[in-house]
Amino acid sequence: MRIWKRMTAAVALLSLLGCAPEQQQQPTATAEPAKTYQWKMVTTWPKNFPGLGVAPERFAEKVATMSAGRLTVKVYGAGDLVPAFEVFDTVSQGTAQMGHSAAYYWKGKVPAAQVFTTIPFGMNAQQMNGWLNQGGGLELWQELYAPFGLIPMPGGNTGVQMGGWFNKEINTLEDLDGLKMRMPGLGGEVLSRLGGVPVTLPGGELFTALQTGAIDATEWVGPYNDLAFGLHKAAKFYYYPGWHEPGTALEFIINEQAFKGLPADLQAIVTTAAQAVNQEMLDEYTSRNIEALRSLVEDHGVQIKPWPPEVLASLQQAADEVLAEQAEKDPAMKKALDAYQQFAQGVRGYHAISENSYDQLYR
């Protein structure tokens, strides 16, 4: 009996060994190659321009790396594929899947969009990021763009900007009367209220317009970008602070259909890359403005001047009037402004005893 069991086991073992080579020869299933996606991104900035123009390139690099090449984004600067101020329509129509710009350029289509860039005497960059990312601002922004088939995402922030470049000193309100100044968004509306003439121009045209006298003054961003454009060669008076843009948020806008056509992991990569670039831009401006300002003053003899207090007071009063009128005319503007101002009131109360009181230690 014991011998019989051993023989049975041996036969079974031989049978298994005989099957092994045959099983190894069975063909193995080959995984299908992952689907790839190629996107275009149009921007309002010159390609690779410091800060503003570099941000889209960084976004594209991050997306390509994190997706292992499954999603690539080709970036086009202003005028390369479409003019600077056609970004919104181009992405809405699906001609490009993405854009990088500033929401206040679309005030003719969506007046309330201006709130999601900045408002005069409004929140700074830290406060704006808090509202957009944690205070309900982004949800309102998404609601506003939904009818256009667009998904907005914060795409960077310049921090408090400078007040602008002027060919003459600003000492009284009368000096603003008839002043032709490049100033988009709600800041331009405020300037107009006090007799100025706001002009909207893309960044690439500012130097020539200022040098030739087509405009009398211009705001752009701050020392880092202004030095790169050579604006100090066209005007010598540089005013601060940027009351009109105290925390300028940039935007990535994405065609909704294109975004929903991505698998979930690529959607997450796009969102994560945008969040990273949003913070990186603010960090870059905070760092680069230091040396750029030193160079403007010490190497180029630029005169930095504060806005006269009485002029600032009048500008702030005019800003309150403009915002109230805009809210009255447009329900979407009122909804966005109410949410913005409610958050601003709360965060300023907290920052009065935290950030601001700490800053006073250095004065």
- Which 3 state secondary structure label does DSSP give 309? helix
DSSP class of 31: P
- Whether residues 141 and 52 share a domain: the answer is yes
Residues in the chain with pLDDT values less than 50? 1-25, 27
Domain end, chosen from 256, 288, 320, is at 288
Q: Is residue 22 part of a domain?
A: no
- Domains identified in the chain, total number: 2
Domain end, chosen from 288, 316, 340, is at 288
Burial of 136 (0-12, 13-18, 19+ CB in 10 A): middle
pLDDT (tens digit, 9 = 90+) per residue, 120-140?
Answer: 999 999 999 999 999 999 999
- Whether residues 241 and 254 share a domain: the answer is no
Q: Is residue 31 part of a domain?
A: no
> Domain residues for 337?
164-246+298-352
Handedness of CA 127, 128, 133, 137 (dihedral sign): positive
- Whether residues 109 and 187 share a domain: the answer is no
- Which 3 state secondary structure label does DSSP give 317? helix
Please tell me the predicted confidence (pLDDT) of residue 33: 77
Please tell me the predicted confidence (pLDDT) of residue 13: 39
Residue partners of 311: CB distance under 8 A and separation at least 6: 170, 172, 173, 176
Please tell me the predicted confidence (pLDDT) of residue 30: 59
Q: Is residue 93 part of a domain?
A: yes
Please tell me the predicted confidence (pLDDT) of residue 14: 38
Q: Is residue 210 part of a domain?
A: yes
- Whether residues 179 and 325 share a domain: the answer is yes
Rounded alpha-carbon distances, angstroms, from residue 158 to 164, 165, 171, 242, 329: 14, 17, 27, 11, 30
